[in-house]
Amino acid sequence: MAKHIPIYPHCEYLPTTSGLLKICANEQGISAITFVMQEDAPAIGNTVTKEAKQQLSEYFNQQRKAFDLPLAPVGTEFQQNVWQQLCAIPYGETCSYADIAKQLNNPNAVRAVGSANGKNPISIVVPCHRVIGANGTLTGYAGGLTRKAALLTLENPNFTVPTGKLTT
């Protein structure tokens, strides 16, 4: 079965210190923010993608700690609930998958939380990079663990990856 690849009517690109971001939106809001190797579609933005570019630029210049953008990610109800919890993790802080499962009043859903976290289509703005393993390991990140560590260090210069705690 072919994998469904969503089509977004509006996309723009933003070069950052962590790589090239592709910012996509529909008429309701931001649908996806992903790291890409190169521009793979014409940049046709709208007011939402332009505002996201501005806010993300401010974030990477350490002038913004919270985002104020309309979001329109596509996912199941459970995924949407997890993504809402991700948005509640304060800038410069981390939490574990177990912490999020507890916040959802479903402490046995740690693996499901991890799966939903991995399917987050809106990197950085929905800060899945702030979720780490219960033992302090940096676990999976679609943008790569080195990029995850860089984002955490950008937000908190005192953040350090414990020796041997960078896992895939």
User: Contact, 9 vs 41, CB < 8 A?
Assistant: no
Catalytic residue among 11, 24, 95, 128: 128
CB burial of 60-95 (b: ≥16 within 10 Å; e: otherwise) equals beeeeeebebebbbeeeeebebbbebbeebeeeebb
Annotated active-site residue 24? The verdict is no
User: Contact, 140 vs 168, CB < 8 A?
Assistant: yes
**Annotated active-site positions, please?**
128
